[in-house]
Amino acid sequence: MTDLPLLVEPKTLEARLGADNLLVVDLGKAETYRKLHIPGAVFLDYPAIVAVNKPVMGLLPDSAALERIFSATGIDSDTHVVACDDEGGGRAARLLWTLECAGHRHMSLLNGGIHAWANEGHPYDEAPVTPVVTEFKVVYNDSPVADSTYINDRLGNPETRLLDVRSPDEYNGIKKYAERGGHIPGAVNCEWTNMMDQQHNLRFKPDAGLLDMLAALGITPDRETITYCQTHHRSAHSYVVLKHLGFSKVKGYPGSWSDWGNNPDLPVE
């Protein structure tokens, strides 16, 4: 079994390519994958790992669907998954969060994704890779998940912090992608791209700077933090950032604002 960390650098991954039980999963755009992907990487279409119950988007698929998707992708209980994409890590991070919900324990995010891999001269292929079908079994783990009831019950609790990683205009209700605009009461705002180093191929910013930025918002490792966005796509990236920084009490909100903002029974700021 590989000993790769949660956040893996391209140079480290290149040295491990071809190792037993290591599988690179690419969730970037299909056209990007056809032009350029990491040798041995299999393609996974992002919509396959999210469920929809309109108007609520970005839900967690049921166990049967996850078993079918992950088995077809070539993932089993021993597979160490390294996820990547071509957008800064949102889709890849959502895969890791979903795997964790399914009880999988061996996973990494490629820091900087395809941007870092290609721009820094690592080898790539163009021919598609056909996955070796396996048998994945879901052992549901609810520790990474917060739903609207869980959040509503903790509103005003100083030990639980809500991190809204949408744009400031979404947070303030200027841009509205649900029946109601605004944010969950008490949530603080940090747009997800603020955690990316735009000058370093979309890697995570250095740990010390991220910790300082989060602490200024009241987001600290001693408290529970729940991340959300519009559908738990952007906030899955922030979830992995927090896990990388050593936060042990962190959850993601599937459905996110598409769930909360469309439920008239829930309070809004």
Query: What percent of the chain lies above the pLDDT cut of 70?
Result: 99
Residues 95 and 166 in one domain: no
Does the residue 96 lie in any domain?
A: yes
Tens digit of each residue's pLDDT (9 = 90 or more) over 196-215: 999 999 999 999 999 999 99
What is the spatial distance between Cα 210 and Cα 186, in angstroms, rounded to a whole number? Answer: 21
Q: Residue 75: is it exposed, middle or buried by C-beta count within 10 angstroms (0-12/13-18/19+)? A: buried
Number of structural domains (the chain) is 2
Q: The tokens 């870092």 sit on which residue?
A: 116
Does 101 qualify as catalytic in the annotation?
Answer: no
Residues 107 and 189 in one domain: no
Residues 254 and 158 in one domain: yes
Is a pLDDT exceeding 60 seen at residue 1? no
What is the spatial distance between Cα 16 and Cα 126, in angstroms, rounded to a whole number? Answer: 20
CATH of the domain at 190: 3.40.250.10
- 254 upstream amide cis, omega within 30 of 0: no
Does the residue 1 lie in any domain?
A: no
pLDDT at 70: 98
pTM of the predicted structure, to 2 decimals: 0.97
Does the residue 267 lie in any domain?
A: no
Does the residue 137 lie in any domain?
A: no
Residues 72 and 160 in one domain: no
Does the residue 66 lie in any domain?
A: yes
Residues 155 and 256 in one domain: yes
- Sheet strands side by side (includes 22-26): 7-8, 107-110, 80-84, 22-26, 42-43
Contact 59, 50 (CB under 8 A): yes
Does the residue 128 lie in any domain?
A: no
The rounded mean pLDDT for the chain is: 97
pLDDT at 61: 98
Stretch 167-183: mean pLDDT, rounded?
98
pLDDT at 3: 86
pLDDT at 2: 65
Residues 76 and 153 in one domain: no
Choice among 84, 101, 190, 229 that is catalytic: 229
Tens digit of each residue's pLDDT (9 = 90 or more) over 15-46: 999 999 999 999 999 999 999 999 999 999 99
Residue 236's domain comprises 148-260
Tens digit of each residue's pLDDT (9 = 90 or more) over 122-152: 999 999 999 999 999 999 999 999 999 999 9
Residues 114 and 213 in one domain: no
Is a pLDDT exceeding 60 seen at residue 219? yes
Does the residue 125 lie in any domain?
A: no
Q: Which of 113, 210, 99 has the alpha carbon at shortest distance from 163?
A: 210
Does the residue 130 lie in any domain?
A: no
Is a pLDDT exceeding 60 seen at residue 184? yes
